[in-house]
Amino acid sequence: MPALMPQQCPHCHVVADVQPHAALGFSCLVCGGPRLALDLPDATLSPQAEQLLTRAGTEQTKHIMYTAAGSLLVAMGALALALVSGVVVIAEPGVLPSLAAYAGAAVPALSGLAALVGAAKARAARGRALRQAQVHTVAELQAQRGPLDATGAAQILRVSPERAELLLAEASVATLLEEAPAPRLRVAAAPAPATVLATPDDLAEATAPPATAQRGDTEI
């Protein structure tokens, strides 16, 4: 089997291998961006798959930023609420000042919750982009090499056979919707013509000299 050449990363544009990633499936060894495993020596990702991976990388960046900002703001809001509660208990400023203090302390916490919601949306969008990239890759491979089974697709993409079956099903749906190329048809070779053996009687008849016409015979 030929040695597998690493693919070019669509994020950092460096030819590098991939490594398993808990959230992304696979990531680039250089920049850590979301990648697909493609264990074929002469296969490359389609432009559609590269665009989807780029989108997944953008959503991954959003997810990281929103998660970090949201976690920090929620922690700051919780600390502010705790401090305000202590001040209100000790100073007893009254109802309106207490409500105003609690409202001001709740702003960071609410902003953090909004950021965490954005992180969840970015994570969902990242997952959709990665799945669509896998589906397009499977469809492109079938268009170039013919139909794949679950075992072959699982080996190429380094996924489980169950996930490979789902990807093949989604690729079939995408083909019906004309969102992905159709698999290449494998044309069977025509059967060789049958050889007919001649019998001894046929050989004798073919090699016999022509009969000489006798007197009284009728020539037609």
Domain count, the chain: 1
Percent with pLDDT over 90 in the chain: 56
Determine, yes or no, domain membership for 74: yes
Q: What pTM does this model have?
A: 0.75
Is the model's pLDDT at 154 over the cut of 50? Answer: yes
Q: How long is the chain? A: 220
Angle between helices 150-157 and 95-145 (to 10 degrees): 120
Please give the pLDDT value at position 206.
55
pLDDT tens track for 170-180? 999 988 888 77
Between 20-29, 94-103, 197-206, the lowest mean confidence (pLDDT) is in: 197-206
DSSP H or E segment with residue 18: strand 18-21
Determine, yes or no, domain membership for 10: no
The mean pLDDT value for 68-91 works out to 91
When pLDDT is cut at 50, 70 and 90, the band that residue 208 belongs to is: low
Determine, yes or no, domain membership for 24: no
| CB distance 13 to 28 below 8 Å | no
Q: What is the mean pLDDT of the chain?
A: 84
Please give the pLDDT value at position 199.
57
Is the model's pLDDT at 101 over the cut of 90? Answer: no
| CB distance 140 to 179 below 8 Å | no
When pLDDT is cut at 50, 70 and 90, the band that residue 197 belongs to is: low
Alpha-carbon distance of 60 to 58, in angstroms, equals: 5
When pLDDT is cut at 50, 70 and 90, the band that residue 200 belongs to is: low
From residue 220, give the alpha-carbon distance in Å to each of 192, 205, 211: 41, 21, 14
Determine, yes or no, domain membership for 52: yes
Alpha-carbon distance of 19 to 27, in angstroms, equals: 5
Determine, yes or no, domain membership for 122: yes
Residue-range definition of the domain harbouring residue 114: 45-176
Q: Report residue 32 CA to chain centroid gap.
A: 17
Is the model's pLDDT at 217 over the cut of 50? Answer: no
Alpha-carbon distance of 36 to 33, in angstroms, equals: 10
Determine, yes or no, domain membership for 16: no
- Which residue type occupies 55? R
Determine, yes or no, domain membership for 171: yes
- Residues 6 or more apart whose CB falls under 8 angstroms from that of 77 comprise 105, 106, 107, 108, 109, 110, 111, 112
pLDDT tens track for 103-122? 998 999 999 999 999 999 99
